[in-house]
Structures are given as structure tokens and as C-alpha cells.
Amino acid sequence: MSTPDATAHSVRYTTQTAEPPHLVHMEPDFCWDEQNAYLFDIDGTLLRSRDRVHYDSFFASVREVMGHELNLSGVTLHGNTDPGILRDAFLQTTVDDSHWRASLEEVLDRMRTTVAAQRDQMQLVRMPAIEETLQYLAGKGATLGVATGNLEAIGWLKIETVGLRHWFRFGGFSDRYFDRADMIAHAAERARSIAGRDATVCVVGDTEFDIAAARANGLPTIAVATGNQSFDQLLQMRPEACTTSLRALLDATVGAQK
């Protein structure tokens, strides 16, 4: 796949801070702030974790429930779902498929309990301009939800911890889904049950997997390079909008309206 021309429909500007120049790429005829509903990813998009509470819960829960030592080497973590991470880890081992599947719900439940018990150890940081972006979109009448690879109890816990819960009317979570596209399909269905059957639904995420899952469901994506993938890497996937941060996107939009 060829790399899109990042100059034809991009904005580059420098802030008054020490941050590098911000980039925004917008596909023609896509209005990022005029969608009826938005599905926000959590990790890397809304917030960043500076702790290992969620990550370590995979190992502890598998050990306690199954008596196995989990190995996540070579397993895709960012953009995956919690059940998908466990599935992919077990597929690399000699553990019988029926054995880990039979234990999966107990492992997931132990993860929920483990993370909740360690809530005070979480070190979560909001991504730039998250509150301002949510306020801006809500002010335009948009329905806001989350769509994440996190289990529901863990996802809401993170959002509550950083004080963003009041913005979101619903959530799409991974409790019943191995694959992100299936989770996004469920979240989009929930969005339309609130915003209307014909509502336009946009996915906001920080990985190529967010883009692919959105595309599998016929949904546009705002790709935000605040996770582990760069602006250029995300741009190669041709999302409808791509930005170095939501602050860059919001500043470029508000500035253009003045």
C-alpha cells in the first residue's frame, strides 16, 4: 500500500510549548466533528497507564486459576482484546485448547477482581486535550461512548479513575469478544440504539487495529498517534483523519473557525 500524501490535506503548526510540530491529515469530505456518535478507545487514546496493574493481572490470574506461567512474548498487546491476548498466548503453548477455554471465564473474572483490588496502585494520565475534545463533541450534540479491548469492569475503572466517566453514555468492551472487529460491531450497534438507527458512528483509536476493526464495520476512524504507533505509521492505513494528538486536531479545527 502506498503512503498517502500527507501534505495535500494536512495542517502543520507549532504550539507555544516545547512539543514538536503537530500534524493533522483529513481525507476530503470527511468532517471529523460532525459525526452523530463516537467510539473512543481507552489505552493510548483517552489515557496512558504508568503502572503494571492491568498487565500483571494476566500473569497472576492464569497462575492462580490454571497453575500455568503465562508467556506474552510475541503476543500483540496494543490494539488486541483481553480475551484475545489470552487466546494468542495459549495458542503458542502446548496447553490443550479445551483446557484454557474451559478456564477462560474464571481467569477473566480473576483479572477483574485483581485489578479492582489494586486500584490505588494505578498511575493513569489523561492524553492531551481529552476533556476539551469530549466537551467540544458533546456540545455539538454527539453521543459519546467507549470501545475498548479492556474488560468492562477494568475499562470503566480506568475511566472513573481519571475523572472522565460522566462524558460517556455507553461502552463496548471485550468480555465476550476475542476479535476487535466484533467488539466494534457491538459498540456501534449500541451507539445507534441511542443516537438513531441511521446515525454516523466514528471510531477514535491509536492503533492500526482500531482502523482495521472500524473498516471491517464500514465505520470511519480518527487515528491518534498518542500510543505506540507514529503518525506516519497510522497514516499508511488511510484513516479518514489522522493526527498527532487530539489537542492538535481540536486546535486546528477551532483555529480554522476563528
Average pLDDT of the residues of the chain: 91
What is the average per-residue pLDDT within 108-116?
98
Please state, in angstroms and as integers, the Cα–Cα distance from residue 115 to each residue in 10, 111, 140, following that order.
Answer: 41, 6, 35
pLDDT at residue 254, rounded to an integer: 79
List the CATH code of the domain at 10-50+126-257: 3.40.50.1000
- Residue 135 CA to its chain's centroid (Å): 18
pLDDT at residue 257, rounded to an integer: 61
Torsion angle in degrees (nearest 10) through CA of 214, 219, 222, 225: 10
Asked whether 239 and 221 are in contact (CB, 8 A), the reply is yes
- Give the span between the Cα atoms of 26 and 78, in whole angstroms: 24
Q: What is the pLDDT of residues 118-175, one digit of tens each?
A: 999 999 999 999 999 999 999 999 999 999 999 999 999 999 999 999 999 999 999 9
Q: What is the pLDDT of residues 202-245, one digit of tens each?
A: 999 999 999 999 999 999 999 999 999 999 999 999 999 999 99
Asked whether 240 and 30 are in contact (CB, 8 A), the reply is yes
What is the average per-residue pLDDT within 76-102?
95
**pLDDT higher than threshold 60 for residue 5:** no
pLDDT at residue 141, rounded to an integer: 97
What is the average per-residue pLDDT within 112-121?
97
Q: What is the pLDDT of residues 7-60, one digit of tens each?
A: 334 433 223 334 556 899 999 999 999 999 999 999 999 999 999 999 999 999
Burial 61-98 (b: 16+ CB within 10 A, else e): bbeebbebebeeeebeebbbbbbbbbbbbbeeeebeee
| Residues in contact with 217: Cβ distance below 8 Å, sequence separation at least 6, in sequence order | 181, 184, 185, 188
Domain residue extents for the chain? 10-50+126-257, 53-121
Asked whether 243 and 24 are in contact (CB, 8 A), the reply is yes
pTM of the model as a whole: 0.90
What is the average per-residue pLDDT within 58-78?
96
Band of the pLDDT at 256, cuts 50, 70, 90?
A: low
pLDDT at residue 22, rounded to an integer: 86
**pLDDT higher than threshold 90 for residue 63:** yes
